[in-house]
Amino acid sequence: MRKRWLELVIGVVPVAILFVAFMGINVLPLLFAMMIGAVLFLAISGKGKLAAMPGGAGRSESRIAPLSFDEIGGQERAKKELVEALDFLVKREQIEKLGIRPLKGILLSGPPGTGKTLLAKAAAQHTDSVYVAASGSEFVEMYVGVGAGRIRELFKNARAKAKKENKSSAIIFIDEIEVIGGKRDGGQHREYDQTLNQLLTEMDGIYGNESPRILLIAATNRKEMLDSALLRPGRFDRHIEVTLPDKKGRLHILNIHAKNKPLHEGSDLASVASQAFNFSGAQLESVMNEAAIYAMRENEALITNKHLTMAIDKVMLGERTDRETTHEEKERVALHELGHAIMAELLRPGSVSQVALSPRGGALGYVRQHPQDDQYLYTKRFLESQIMVALGGAAAEEIFYDERSTGSRGDFQQALDLVKTLVESGLTDLGIVDADMITKMQWSKVTGAILDDLMQRTKDMLQEKQDVFRTSLHILMAEEQLSGDEFRNLLNRNSAA
């Protein structure tokens, strides 16, 4: 019916305009008004960015491949919480007997790349629900009321799709919910305030006895930005934290992405999982993909440990560059990196994985370290040791050149961040303080005192290892890299002597 009306309008309107022009009437204002009307119609009806009308072809209409929770690695706790929250869609009779109010919304929060979208898709598969997805940015337009209209159409579309496919439930997934769900400051009325108000209204209109049932799942990596009205019980009833995977979770993710890749029998994914501390699921997938690319570049049929190590460096630091340096600059970089490596091994034995002199990203050289075990709580001694490792490069330059270079800028920033952690954790002479109440002069005084003391301790420790510097420098300049085991052998040999 709508198509027939559209064809009728297209046929009649041009004839009417020509007739009016023939009568000598100025038709420019009429044409201008029709253009504005057409733009508003297309925007409000959703034919533009979102296309959430039934029968549209936007993201909300995309069909997803079946995805189960077993295919998502590294998020066992989040998966368990989510499955429990989905019971009201699966165990309807049981929750009715217990008088449980069905959930309306589930909020997934956590760093980018941790699998929030995958969890939402698996939730739809687990509950045999229609899956309708959209991004928060798709609801924001310059025209007032457009976002609110698209929210209405999104929920209407989800119900229509569920009925069409004979499903008893529908899951609506909104990514980047903070775009439309940000805190309202009570100031000037904004277009996306109307969008948020409409979203709250739609969530209030979700009832337990309706058919099909609607569940809203939203994802954000900035939960602190969300409006309190959106977070309260009765709207988003469950807040599930989707964190970076631990060592066991990283190994699970690597094994999932290794299923379709030819690994050499000597490939050690457990070692990769250990070295990839703080990697997200997306980064781990990229490690496996980059390793396969390196194998292809070398015309190798199998992916080896060498390819996996190169892939970790690529994901962590960027692609190797062809930047050329002078011999003197290369030697300074080598001594700088050896300073980091020696301090790391002295303070945390076994932590150095590789010392490299090849430029990657913005770095002329690097030391890759990995923790023996995942660690989430830090003592004062541990943080001070991390600061000393960061200062090791600058200390080595001072020992051999009596001056520093700009290559230490990133190291100093890392050291300052660690000092800030010490202060905010009450681990300095200031005691337990509110960091916001500390003046700039106090910050400068405490930071200077800590860094001066740790820099002197670092230089004293490195002065005793000058033989290690000279022996390692010769090999590093020639081969441009030292494995962790090779470096530890050199360190132990010189220490025994």
User: How far is residue 255's CA from residue 232's CA, in Å, rounded to a whole number?
Assistant: 38
Is 141 annotated as catalytic? no
Q: Report the amino acid identity of residue 219.
A: A
Residue owning tokens 């044409």: 31
Asked whether the bond before 212 is cis by omega within 30 degrees of 0, the reply is yes
User: How far is residue 120's CA from residue 175's CA, in Å, rounded to a whole number?
Assistant: 10
Three-state DSSP class for residue 213? strand
Q: Report the amino acid identity of residue 129.
A: S
Given the residues 138, 178, 337, 345, select the one marked as catalytic. 337
H-helix or E-strand containing 170?
Answer: strand 169-175
User: How far is residue 198's CA from residue 232's CA, in Å, rounded to a whole number?
Assistant: 16
User: How far is residue 270's CA from residue 275's CA, in Å, rounded to a whole number?
Assistant: 9
User: How far is residue 266's CA from residue 269's CA, in Å, rounded to a whole number?
Assistant: 9
Residue 409, judged by CB atoms within 10 A of its CB (0-12, 13-18, 19+), counts as exposed
The size of the chain, in residues, is 497
Three-state DSSP class for residue 433? coil
Q: Which are the catalytic amino acids?
A: 337
